[in-house]
């Protein structure tokens, strides 16, 4: 499994695809294993940390700065609809910079909560200042971080769900060929682990939602690896 598949499961992305993939796996649990490599775990660890650090530090700081700039002439007055408009620009910038990656869903979750929370308070005529909003925002972010970390620990750290870690190492020749194809080094390492399983006579497919890899699947077959989207995985093993 590619890191993007694991992250999709943790963040609730591609729900239909992941549901079918897990159902197929469960139906053939006696013959099919869902494995991830050490290199995939390392990449996932880094991306989860980047996500939680971003939510807890960068995004929170960006919101604080935007509100301070909006309210520089009257910093202690209650929040208004103008402050909501100021936050629109903050979230737009971060949505665009995420480019549909693993950060997009957490960013949108915080955005939806923040705008709904402020909108309801202001519309009801309730007084809410920057300090109180920051306290509520911190609570929401901590809750979201827990909701990300918990399934990650279940899936990857403790392996109590449907995937298991393999200790296979990258096949040296396959790794060389994949790097020569100018694949990203991390992708080449993940794929080369799958190639090592194939080299040992174990039917293997590399499951990914990375369109960059899937678009080059015919080239990647040179090292004996079939790459596919999760919904096709079981059929490549029949």
Q: What is the pLDDT of residue 161?
A: 93
pLDDT band per the 50, 70, 90 thresholds, residue 184: very high
pLDDT band per the 50, 70, 90 thresholds, residue 73: confident
The two structure tokens encoding residue 195: 């190639």
Most distant CA pair in the chain: distance in Å? 71
pLDDT in tens, 1-50: 999 999 999 998 899 999 999 999 999 999 999 999 999 999 999 999 99
Which residue's structure tokens are 């392996």?
159
pTM of model > 0.85: yes
Q: How far, in Å, CA of 77 to CA of 147, rounded?
A: 34
Q: Count of CB atoms within 10 A of residue 155's CB?
A: 20
Ramachandran angles phi, psi of 181, nearest 5°: -75, -5
Which residue's structure tokens are 């989207």?
229
HEC-encoded secondary structure of the chain: CCHHHHHHHHHCCCHHHHHHHHHHHHHCCCCCCCEECHHHHHHHHHHHHHHHHHHHHHHHHHHHHHHHHHCCCCCCCCCCHHHHHHHHHHHHHHHHHHCCCCCHHHHHHHHHHHHHHHHHHHHCCCCCCHHHHHHHHHHHHHHHHHHHHHHHHHHHHCCCCCCEECCCCCCHHHHHHHHHCCCCHHHHHHHHHHHHHHHCCCCCEEECCCHHHHCCHHHHHHHCCEEECHHHHHHHHC
- Is the pLDDT at 100 greater than 80, yes or no? no
pLDDT in tens, 217-238: 999 999 999 999 999 999 999 9
């Amino acid at each position: 499994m590619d890191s993007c598949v694991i992250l999709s499961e943790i963040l609730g992305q591609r729900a239909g695809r992941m549901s079918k993939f897990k159902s197929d796996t469960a139906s053939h649990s006696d013959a099919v294993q869902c494995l991830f490599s050490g290199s995939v775990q390392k990449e996932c660890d880094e991306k989860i940390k980047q996500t939680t650090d971003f939510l807890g530090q960068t995004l929170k700081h960006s919101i604080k700065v935007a509100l301070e700039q909006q309210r520089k002439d009257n910093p202690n007055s209650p929040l208004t609809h103008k402050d909501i408009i100021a936050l629109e620009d903050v979230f737009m910038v971060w949505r665009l910079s995420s480019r549909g990656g693993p950060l997009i869903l957490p960013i949108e979750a915080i955005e939806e909560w923040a705008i709904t929370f402020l909108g309801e308070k202001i519309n009801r005529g309730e007084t809410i200042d920057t300090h109180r909003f920051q306290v509520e925002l911190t609570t929401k972010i901590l809750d979201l971080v827990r909701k990300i970390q918990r399934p990650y620990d279940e899936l990857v750290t403790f392996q109590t769900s449907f995937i298991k870690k393999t200790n296979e190492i990258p096949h040296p020749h396959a790794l060389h060929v994949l790097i020569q194809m100018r694949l990203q080094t991390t992708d080449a390492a993940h794929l080369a682990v799958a190639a090592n399983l194939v080299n040992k006579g174990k039917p293997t497919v590399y499951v990914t939602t990375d369109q960059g890899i899937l678009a080059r699947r015919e080239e990647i077959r040179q090292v004996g690896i079939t790459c596919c989207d999760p919904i096709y995985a079981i059929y490549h093993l029949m």
